[in-house]
Amino acid sequence: MRIWKEIGSWSLSIGLAFILSMFIGIFIFQPYKVYGHSMDPTLHDKQRIYAEKWSYTLGNQPDYGDIVIVDSRVERKRTFWDSAREHPLISLLTGDTMDEVFYVKRVIGKPGDTVEIKNAKVFRNGEQLDEPYIKEQMELLPDQTWNVPEDHIFVMGDNRNNSNDSRMIGFIPMDHVLATKGFK
């Protein structure tokens, strides 16, 4: 009889730890791994980062220049179950790694902004951005202009010549902003 009491006590402790871990991973912070070189020189391929999620759980918007983790599947709605499935413990149990859908990028434009690329330089609302964090000058391409819609942001990688970002995938809905880069 005592052994069943002990097993019950351990089961309760493990269950509570699992629930707490899920809560922290879905709403507070979560580890991520950077894949690729789109954020060089700021972040590097295979670098582990911890990202803060609490701000976005509360509905806050990222600021200009923030490094954010976004869900690149912008054509679909996100649900609570997406966040649960992306939790490291659930991914480990299901074997479902979703690393290829998470992009780590920098916020360039917010709702209502006009983002332009002219002569390989980035402008926001007519003013050229001072971007000391970029790896190198962008390749000279045709000029482009985007008007950021409500409830969306425009993101770019720091390695502009090697980044799949809003220039290709489009605007990022605010509910696709998962976290901001926290501490290493």
Q: Is 163 assigned a catalytic role?
A: no
Q: Is 38 assigned a catalytic role?
A: yes
The pLDDT value recorded for residue 183 is 41
- Rounded to 10 degrees, the C-alpha dihedral 52/151/125/178 comes to 20
Strand 177-181 to 67-71 pairing: antiparallel
- The strand pairing partners of 123, in sequence order, are 116, 128
Catalytic position from the list 72, 83, 105, 135: 105
In the chain, what are the domain boundaries?
Answer: 2-181
The CATH number assigned to the domain with range 2-181 reads 2.10.109.10
Q: Which pLDDT tens digits describe the chain residue by residue (184 residues)?
A: 788 888 888 888 888 988 888 788 777 878 888 889 999 999 999 998 888 887 776 778 899 999 999 988 888 888 777 776 766 666 666 666 655 778 999 999 999 999 999 999 999 999 999 999 999 989 888 999 999 999 999 999 999 999 999 999 999 999 899 888 754 3
